Chain A
Amino acid sequence: MSTETTTAPVKVKVPKEALFSVKNKRLIYDPLNDNNPITVQVLGICSALAVTVKVKPSIVMAIAVVAVCACSNVIISLIRNIIPNRIRIIVQLTVVAAMVILVDQFLKAFIFDVSKQLSVFVGLIITNCIIMGRLEAFAMANKPWPAFLDGIGNGFGYGLILVIVSVVRELFGAGEIMGFRIIPESVYTAGYFNNGLIIMPPMALIIVGIYIWIQRSRNRKLIEPN
């Protein structure tokens, strides 16, 4: 049957990958569009909807998620070979929780008012499925550098949706962006009113729904069969 080969497996020298090779760049670009964590992977929706009333808290939230996601990806990727498989969820949660405590204390120390607005949602970064999902799907099987890029990319993909939704909501809900008035007073005197409904939480869902609609009609391969 099979002839036994006694030769030792030839060591193939893997050329060292450039820091920003095409593959690594894809790790950052993909989550921004084709593989967006919110609209395609359906991860991390909870906090995305609740903090998007104003632009400023959503940017802070996005930065916090990028930081936590990138750091915990790197840490898990470094220790991936020594984590026992059965208790990996608890190990991952502990690492993420430690990161989130750091971020929470940082926010409380330097931007207290925003931290107050975000209330429980900073703590909820621990259970943000983007972070857990990326840890499970990517960091457990990859080296630290790609894991870092993956964390950054997914964090930004999440941030992108947050910023889009919050810009729409603050613009139509309050007529301003980041506290600067965009819709001039003269429009108000002509009989324009702020849309009070759009500040309400449900409209965030509908805006994301419409965003998904636009994204999928431009990119037809994302359409679900049913």
Chain B
Amino acid sequence: MDSVNIFIKAVFIENMIFAYFLGMCSYLAISKTVKSSVGLGLAVIFVLTVSIPVCYLLENYVLKAGALSWLSDDFATVDLSFLSFIMYIATIASIVQLVEMVVEKFAPALYASLGIFLPLIAVNCSILGGALFMQEREYANVGEATVFAFGSGVGWFLAIVALSAIREKIRYSNVPMPLRGLGITFILTGLMAIAFMSFMGIKI
């Protein structure tokens, strides 16, 4: 039951885009067409679901204060948590590299359409943000951390697909010239985020 709650919370209430604005850069840049945004969204879900459990294990068996006590009692007081940024980003960068190779091999069309943004998932704030939230919220076990990661990914996917659908339609509307492109996208995202705020009152 707990993991269902964590999932729903991560998708709707603590949505990466609408509640924390994480991963906005690629969100705004790739959302021009639905097709490429679906591809990027799936890639983000995958990278999140793989890298956050790895970061969780790192955090709990290497980095946290006293986490090294499984090696020997001498390490019981070692606190490496100040290294967490470097460890997380190294983990994420290598997993992104892996995903890039797999996608290039098995789905060349998707690889071509994502272009530069596939390697840039490494610097997509939602991945590192997910890792840092995982660290801050102290999930009970790997399963919960994985569910949280998958939920965050699904939330990000929903957000980018919804925005790209709106942007495809808005091309036929008469937006004021200076607002076209980036400006109206910001305001659209703001309005969508206000809509998502209605989930905030839900207590689970």
The residues of A with any CB-CB pair to B shorter than 8 Å are: 39, 42-47, 49-50, 89-90, 93-94, 97-98, 100-101, 104-105, 119-120, 123-124, 126-129, 132, 200-206, 208-210, 212-213, 215-217, 220, 223-224, 226
Contact = CB atoms under 8 A, between A and B. Distances in A.
Interface of B: 18-25, 28-29, 82-86, 89-90, 93-94, 119-120, 122-125, 127-129, 132-133, 136, 171, 176-187, 189-191, 193-194, 197
Contacts of B136: 119-120
A49 B21 contact: yes
Contacts of B85: 97, 100-101, 104, 123, 126
A216 B186 contact: no
18 contacts: A45-B25, A47-B125, A90-B94, A101-B83, A104-B85, A123-B132, A124-B22, A127-B122, A127-B127, A129-B25, A202-B18, A203-B190, A205-B187, A206-B191, A209-B184, A210-B187, A216-B178, A220-B178
Given A105-B82, A202-B197, A206-B190, A45 B178 contact: no
Tell me if B's interface is mostly helix, strand, loop or mixed.
helix
Contacts of A203: 190
Contacts of B90: 90, 93-94
Contacts, number: 147
Tell me if A's interface is mostly helix, strand, loop or mixed.
helix
Contacts of B176: 213
The 6 residue pairs across chains A and B that have the minimum distance between CB atoms: A224-B181, A209-B186, A205-B190, A202-B193, A216-B178, A206-B190
Contacts of A224: 180-182
A208 B186 contact: yes
A192 B125 CA distance: 38
Contacts of B185: 209
A50 B187 contact: no
Contacts of B191: 202, 206
Contact of B89 (A126, A129, A204, A217): A126
Contacts of A49: 21, 24
A35 to B, nearest CB: 14
A217 B180 CA distance: 11
Contact of B28 (A45, A89, A120, A223): A45
Greatest chain B CB density within 10 A among A94, A206, A217 is at A206
Contacts of B179: 209, 212-213, 216
A200 B191 CA distance: 12
Contacts of A217: 177-178
